[in-house]
């Protein structure tokens, strides 16, 4: 709930320097592609930048909480057979909506990104459970 609302607020308040930081994180994510270990850092920076873009100190202070949630998500979905590259267009859409000042579009794009990440984690956990069952058999 926090991050989609933050994206909407960021679309109204982001500075050019913050937009540059967001785009730099996105560019790094594109470079490292499906290397889960290397993808995690710029992805984390991307999401934390959105929180800071709100200009709200309370929301910005939640960056540590978001870091914890994202790191758990990365660990759970790191063995996703689809990798992380499929999330790049969604990240790009979030960045574009923020840069365009489209608060509701940024909020909706981030909701889709979060929903897809949740599905990635679910699929990864199911794959792990299936492999464990196969190893026991």
How much is the pTM? 0.87
CATH for the stretch 2-136: 1.20.120.530
Summarize the confidence of residues 1-21 as an average pLDDT.
95
CB environment 19-38: b (16+ within 10 A), e (fewer) = bebbbebbebbeebeeebee
Query: Considering the chain, what percentage of its residues have pLDDT values greater than 70?
Result: 95
Top pLDDT among 113 and 61 is at 113
User: What is the residue-averaged pLDDT of the chain?
Assistant: 88
pLDDT for res 77:
67
Q: Sorting pLDDT into bands at 50, 70 and 90, what band is 78? A: low
Q: Which of 62-66, 98-102, 133-137 has the lowest mean pLDDT?
A: 62-66
Rounded Cα–Cα distance for residues 87 and 26 (Å): 11
Comparing CA positions, the residue from 30, 122, 27, 20 lying closest to residue 80 is: 122
Q: Are 11 and 98 in contact (CB under 8 A)?
A: yes
pLDDT at 7: 96
Among 38-47, 67-76, 90-99, name the most confident range. Answer: 90-99
79-103 CB burial, b ≥16 within 10 A, e <16: ebeebbeebeebbebbbebbbeebb
- The secondary element (H helix, E strand) that includes residue 9 is helix 2-13
Q: How confident is the model at residue 81 (pLDDT cuts 50, 70, 90)?
A: low
Q: Is the pLDDT of residue 48 over 70?
A: yes
Taking residues 62-85, what's their average pLDDT? 73
């Amino acid at each position: 709930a926090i991050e989609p609302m933050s994206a909407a607020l960021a679309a109204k308040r982001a500075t050019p320097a913050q937009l540059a930081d967001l785009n730099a994180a996105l560019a790094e994510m594109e470079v490292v592609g499906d290397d889960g270990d290397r993808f995690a850092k710029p992805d984390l920076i991307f999401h934390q930048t959105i929180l800071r873009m709100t200009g709200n100190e309370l929301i910005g202070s939640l960056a540590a909480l978001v870091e914890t949630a994202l790191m758990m998500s990365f660990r759970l979905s790191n063995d996703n057979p689809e990798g992380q590259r499929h999330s790049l267009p969604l990240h790009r859409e979030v960045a574009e909506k923020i840069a365009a000042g489209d608060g509701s579009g940024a909020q909706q794009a981030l909701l889709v990104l979060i929903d897809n990440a949740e599905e990635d984690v679910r699929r990864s956990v199911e794959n792990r459970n299936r492999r464990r069952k196969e190893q026991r058999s």
